[in-house]
Every structure is written in structure tokens, then in C-alpha cells.
């Protein structure tokens, strides 16, 4: 392992616990939209150097990371939900992946500036409590020139968007805090320290967690950090 400093994640008093035992127990049995499953390889392609996965859940990415490793890889993951984290630790063992797995939130990452070559987020920005703070942290911990790869479902237009706004209050209760309506792409594109390499809208997936968008941003060499 490199010299990443193991600081403990700090939590302010108003941050509620991320603790969804039922959602974690069901997560691996929920039907994953084909568009998501097919794209996990996109997130994990040609990984080498130092990589961080945000909100790794039950570790569904880990087998793809094993397949996608293209050189020396030091893999880190954070997950604040203890139920998810326990399953992720088992998944790492089963996949034969050495993971430095920590209890932390994307909004307050326990790593120094400029630590990672790649940061991965797979359906996480729908769920984090403060997506703007989380994106600031991604830009902070990426090395200049490092990649932020994401796969997210985002708010839809038209009747789907109206349906999402109606369902959102119930959905976030049953789906571990997931929001259906976030404008995640605009948030990413607007960040001054991150340059867009590519963003693709995939097929419409399964309503209401649709459309699904994947992309890669790169930390600018001279990027302005907030």
C-alpha cells in the first residue's frame, strides 16, 4: 500500500447514519437493469495505479475490477453503510481482490489531496446526501490528469420526469436514500476543475431509475479547487 494517510472520516452532528439493513440484504437480489450491468466493465476498464471506488455497496464492481486490471493496481473503496460494507468485504474475498475498504462518506474522504489516478462512482451520486460536496472531494483527491469515471441514473424529461418527482419521496425511503430526479450530468459538466472526456446517455433502462448516463471526466492540470 502507498502512503495514503489513514485519517478517520469526520462526521458533523447533523449527518444522519447511513444504515439500511433491509436494502443491503436485498440489494444483490434486486434485478439490475441490463444497461447498468453491461457498463460496469466501462468503469473498470484498464485500471492501474491508485484507484478509489465511492459507495461500493455490496462490492458488485469487484469482479469487474479483477477483470479490468491492466497493471499494478492499489484499490481503495469507501462505504458508509455497515451492512453494505460487511457484504463488500466478503465480495472482495470471493473475487480475490485486495481492497482497502473504509467507513467513510464521499463528502469527506479520508485521503490527502492528489491521491488517486482514478475515482469510480457506480450509481452513487443518486444517493449521497450532498452531491456538490462529494464532487468537490472527487476533484480534491484526484491527481491532476486523473480520471473520474461514472455510471449514474439521472432525472428524466417529460412524463418520466413527472413520474419521478411523484415517486421520489417514497423511492428514497425504500431504496436506501436514492433520489430519482438529480441533474447529475449538469453538476459534473459545470465543475471547473474537471474536463469532460466523454459522456454517453445509454438506453432508457427501467423506469423510474432512468435514463442511465456514463462518462469520464479528467482533473485539469491547472484545475481550480473550491
C-alpha–C-alpha distance, residues 115 and 146, integer Å: 9
- Total residues in contact with ligand SAM, by rule CB under 6 A: 24
CB of 40 to ligand SAM, least distance (A): 7
Residue 201: φ, ψ to 5°: -90, 125
Give the residue with the Cβ less far from ligand SAM, 18 or 185: 18
Does residue 19 contact residue 47 with C-beta atoms inside 8 Å? no
Stretch that binds ligand SAM, among 6-14, 56-64, 153-161, 186-194 (CB under 6 A): 56-64
* Binding residue (CB under 6 A) for ligand SAM from 35, 39, 55, 212: 55
Angle at CA of residue 172, ends 99 and 147, nearest 5°: 40
> Which of helix, strand or coil describes residue 169?
helix
Query: Which residues ranging from 14 to 53 are in contact with ligand SAM (CB under 6 A)?
Result: 18
CB of 95 to ligand SAM, least distance (A): 14
CB of 53 to ligand SAM, least distance (A): 7
CB of 106 to ligand SAM, least distance (A): 4
Stretch that binds ligand SAM, among 65-73, 92-100, 118-126, 188-196 (CB under 6 A): 118-126
Strand order in the sheet with 212-219: 99-102, 69-78, 47-54, 116-122, 142-153, 212-219, 194-201
Buried b (16+ CB within 10 A) or exposed e, 85-112: bebbbebbeebebebbbbebbbbbbbbe
Chain residues that interact with ligand SAM, rule: CB under 6 A:
18, 54-57, 60-61, 78-81, 84, 105-107, 122-124, 127-129, 176-178
Amino acid at each position: 500500500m502507498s502512503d495514503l494517510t489513514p485519517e478517520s472520516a469526520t462526521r458533523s452532528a447533523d449527518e444522519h447514519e447511513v444504515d439500511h439493513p433491509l436494502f443491503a440484504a436485498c440489494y444483490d437480489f434486486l434485478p439490475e437493469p441490463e444497461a447498468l450491468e453491461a457498463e460496469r466493465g466501462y468503469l473498470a476498464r484498464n485500471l492501474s495505479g491508485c484507484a478509489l471506488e465511492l459507495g461500493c455497496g455490496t462490492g458488485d464492481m469487484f469482479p469487474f475490477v479483477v477483470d479490468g486490471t491492466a497493471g499494478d493496481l492499489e484499490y481503495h473503496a469507501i462505504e458508509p453503510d455497515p451492512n453494505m460494507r460487511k457484504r463488500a468485504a466478503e465480495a472482495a474475498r470471493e473475487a480475490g481482490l485486495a481492497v482497502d475498504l473504509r467507513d467513510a462518506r464521499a463528502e469527506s474522504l479520508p485521503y490527502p489531496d492528489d491521491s488517486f489516478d482514478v475515482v469510480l462512482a457506480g450509481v452513487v451520486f443518486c444517493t449521497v446526501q450532498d452531491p456538490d460536496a462529494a464532487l468537490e472531494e472527487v476533484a480534491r483527491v484526484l491527481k491532476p490528469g486523473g480520471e473520474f469515471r461514472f455510471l449514474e441514473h439521472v432525472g428524466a424529461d417529460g412524463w418520466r420526469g413527472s413520474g419521478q418527482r411523484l415517486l421520489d419521496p417514497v423511492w428514497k425511503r425504500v431504496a436506501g436514500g436514492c433520489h430519482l430526479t438529480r441533474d447529475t450530468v449538469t453538476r459534473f459538466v459545470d465543475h471547473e476543475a474537471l474536463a469532460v472526456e466523454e459522456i454517453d446517455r445509454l438506453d432508457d433502462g427501467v423506469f423510474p431509475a432512468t435514463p442511465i448516463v456514463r462518462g469520464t471526466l479528467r482533473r485539469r492540470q491547472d484545475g481550480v479547487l473550491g
